[in-house]
């Protein structure tokens, strides 16, 4: 999983050229119409929807965030992508199936490289739906999604996102002192 963001290639405003090789499942556009990527106030690169969906295809595990008895719950899950939907398989008695289905949830994936201090995060937000139509369940069975947990998993949940956001922290070229990060690591050895 390569890192595409570096300080090299930025324009005078600190923007990066848009990626062109990513598989896009939904139409996304760069932050500006001149072919550059938007950088937010914190210096993080704002990912397009297309980049977010391409990254979804690379992540083996995601996190579902929902509310249970007015408290936040975060559950790691494996998942499959079905068009623009995130599909999760769980048990009928799981808290995810009994408390999250029918409510707004967030689904998050990320990748962090602590050595280069870079990474990305993608968050999808929308209603989590229980899939109960037998024909649709049969179709989702063909995705081959198998839960890692040992209990029975006889329910499919689907998130069709209403909001897709993503940010990337590019590989740092220099630290706050102006030293190259790689040189700081080399001196530490």
Q: What is the CATH number of the domain that holds 167?
A: 2.30.110.10
Measured CA distances, 31 to 9, 113, 117 (Å): 16, 25, 24
Which run of H or E residues covers position 158?
A: strand 155-159
Phi, psi of 131 (to 5 degrees): -90, 115
- Please check whether residue 26 lies inside any domain of the structure: yes
**Reported confidence tier of residue 53, pLDDT bands at 50, 70, 90:** very high
Quote the pLDDT of residue 35. Answer: 57
Domain that holds residue 156: 16-188
Lowest mean pLDDT among 11-20, 47-56, 63-72, 91-100: 11-20
Looking only at the bridges linking them, the beta strands covering 118-131 and 163-169 are antiparallel
Provide the pLDDT for residue 92: 86
> By the 8 A CB rule, do 116 and 171 touch?
yes
Residue-wise pLDDT tens digits, 124-151: 999 999 999 999 999 999 998 887 776 7
Tell whether 10 is covered by a domain: no
Decide if 156 is inside a domain: yes
* Total-model pTM: 0.72
**Number of structural domains, the chain?**
1
pLDDT per position as a tens digit, 83-109: 999 999 998 888 898 888 889 999 999
More confident position, 19 or 68: 68
Backbone angles phi, psi at 57, to 5 degrees: -70, -15
In sequence order, what are the residues at sequence separation of 6 or more whose Cβ sits closer than 8 angstroms to the Cβ of residue 178?
A: none
Examine the pLDDT at 121 and tell me if it is beyond 50. Answer: yes
Is the residue at 8 inside a domain? no
Looking at every residue in the chain, the average pLDDT score rounds to 77
Neighbours of 12 (CB within 10 A): 5
Q: Is residue 7 part of a domain?
A: no
Q: Could you tell me if residue 168 is inside a domain?
A: yes
> Is 70 part of any domain?
yes
- At residue 26, the pLDDT reads 30
Q: Is residue 2 part of a domain?
A: no
Q: How far apart are CA 148 and CA 156, in angstroms?
A: 14
């Amino acid at each position: 999983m390569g890192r595409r963001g570096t300080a090299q290639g930025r324009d005078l405003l600190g923007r990066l050229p848009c990626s062109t090789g990513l598989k896009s499942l939904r139409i996304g556009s760069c932050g500006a119409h001149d072919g550059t990527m938007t950088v937010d106030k914190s210096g993080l690169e704002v990912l397009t929807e297309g980049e977010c969906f391409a990254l979804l295809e690379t992540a083996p595990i995601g996190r579902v965030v929902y509310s249970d008895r007015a408290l936040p719950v975060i559950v790691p899950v494996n998942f499959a992508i079905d068009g623009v939907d995130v599909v999760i398989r769980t048990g009928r008695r799981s808290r995810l199936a009994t408390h999250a289905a029918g409510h707004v949830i967030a689904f998050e994936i990320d990748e962090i490289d602590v050595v280069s201090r870079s990474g990305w995060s993608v968050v999808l937000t929308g209603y989590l739906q229980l899939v109960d139509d037998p024909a649709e369940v049969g179709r989702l069975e063909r995705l081959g999604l198998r839960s890692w947990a040992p209990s029975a998993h006889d329910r499919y949940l689907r998130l069709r996102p209403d909001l897709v956001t993503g940010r990337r922290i590019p590989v740092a070229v220099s630290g706050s002192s102006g030293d190259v990060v790689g040189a700081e690591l080399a001196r530490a050895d």
